Amino acid sequence: MVRKSEETVETKYILIDGLGEGQLGSQVQMDREIMAQNGALVVLVYVDHKTRKLKKDPDVVSHGFIYMHESEEITREICKLAADAFRRIQEKNRGANRQDIKRYIRQTIDKFTHTKLERRPLIIPLIIEQ
């Protein structure tokens, strides 16, 4: 005869991440979910380190986000949005730091991708000073 114990035991998930095991941070888990469902966009923003102005148009690298036949037009729009967002944040807040600028670019692109494509990819703006 099997008896049910009144004692409770707390259990937690153990996640295995390739090389080791342990707990992953919640941000890592959230980023992985977003990438799995909506893909990722890396936005490269080239800035002149002396003038703090755009040196050239931004570049966009996309993985798992859009189909190739949509890619060119959407990529052009995202590049333009990133450049406009960079200029706008510089005008509004001359003292904006890198994190503020990246956050503003990310929010601008996120709004566009959600409205236009009903998708929310992981957006990673990178500011490259030249």
Q: Which helix (H) or strand (E) holds 17?
A: strand 15-17
Model's pTM, two decimal places? 0.77
Residue 103 vs residue 26, higher pLDDT? 103
User: pLDDT class for 17, splitting at 50, 70, 90?
Assistant: low
Q: Which domains does the chain have, with CATH numbers?
A: 38-129 (3.10.20.580)
Pairing state of beta strands 122-129 and 40-47? Answer: parallel
Q: How confident is the model over 58-104, as pLDDT tens digits?
A: 999 988 887 756 688 899 999 999 999 999 999 998 888 999 999 99
The SS3 assignment for 36 reads helix
Cα angle, residue 119 at apex, residues 54 and 57 outer, rounded to 5°: 15
